[in-house]
Structure 1
Amino acid sequence: MARVLVAEDDPDILQLLIYKLKGSGFEAMAASDGRTALAAIRQFRPHAVLIDVRMPGLDGIELCRELRASPGTAKLPIVMISAQGRPQDRELAFAAGADDYVIKPFSPRELVARVQQLLVEVRA
C-alpha cells in the first residue's frame, strides 16, 4: 500500500484529502505545518507528498527545497497545492523541485489521480 503524506494548514482541506486518499487505497498521514511535515516525512517515509504552498513555520516552497536537497527524499514525488494560480507561482514551485502543481479549488478525485500517475511514473 502506497503511503502519502499531506501537509496542509487548512483543517477542512486536510481532512478531505486524507479521506479521499484512504478511500482510494492509500495509507495517508496528515501534517498541519511545514516543520511537522518534514519530521513526519523522515519518520513515515511516504511514497509521495502533497504540500500546501502557504503554511506556518516552514512554507511549502522551502519544504520542497529541503526535500530535494536531502539524498533520502530527493526523488520523492511532490505535488504542490496552492490558491495562487499565477504563472510565476507555478514556476517558483517547479524551480523548488515540485513534480506537479494543483490550484485550489481542485477536484479531490483529480488530485488523487495525479498522485497515482506520479507513483506509476516513479516505478516505471
Structure 2
Amino acid sequence: MARIIIADDDEIVGEVACDALIAAGHGAGLLANGTDALNVIKNRKPDLVILDCNMPGLNGLLVLREMRNSIALNHIPVLVLTGRRGNSDEELARFEGADDYMRKPFDPDELVFRVEQMLAKHNRKPAH
C-alpha cells in the first residue's frame, strides 16, 4: 500500500481519483489547493503525489518545482493530472520534473495502472 496525496481543486475529479486508488489498496488523501498540498507533502512525505496544474494558491507546477528543489522531497514520484491539452503543457510539466502526465478526462483504471508503474519503478531505484 502506497501513501498518495492528490491535489486538485475539482472535487469530483479528486474524489474519482481518490476512490480508484483506495479501491486498489492504496492510502489516498485529497487537497483542494497547492499551498495545503505542499504543506502536507512536507510533513507526511508520501510515496507519490498527483498534481493538477490549475489550482488556487500554488498551482501544480509550482508545487512540483518546490518539491524538485527540496532535498527532502525531490525523490517523490509525481504524476501531473490536468485538463491542459497542449503538447507544450506536457513538455513544461516534464521539464519541471513530472514523472508522468495524464490529461483529463481520465480513466480511473488507467490512473491506477500508471501510479502502480511509477511506484514499481521508483522502488527499483537504488537509494541515494
Using structure 1 for the length normalisation, give the TM-score: 0.97
Superposed structure 1 runs of 4+ greater than 4 Å apart: none
**Residue 16 (structure 1) shift:** 1.0
**Residue 18 (structure 1) shift:** 1.0
Match of 1:118 in 2: 118
Secondary structure of 1:74's aligned partner: coil
Match of 1:88 in 2: 88
**Aligned equivalents of 1:19, 1:106: Cα separation in 2:** 13
- Structure 1 residues without counterparts, runs of 5 or longer: none
Match of 1:69 in 2: 69
- Structure 2 residues without counterparts, runs of 5 or longer: none
**Residue 114 (structure 1) shift:** 0.4
**Aligned equivalents of 1:115, 1:85: Cα separation in 2:** 20
**Residue 29 (structure 1) shift:** 1.0
Identical-residue share of aligned pairs (%): 37
Q: Which amino acid aligns with 2:99?
A: D
Number of aligned residues: 124
**Residue 17 (structure 1) shift:** 1.1
Match of 1:15 in 2: 15
**Aligned equivalents of 2:30, 2:82: Cα separation in 1:** 17
Match of 1:6 in 2: 6
**Aligned equivalents of 2:65, 2:111: Cα separation in 1:** 22
**Residue 84 (structure 1) shift:** 1.2
**Aligned equivalents of 1:14, 1:84: Cα separation in 2:** 16
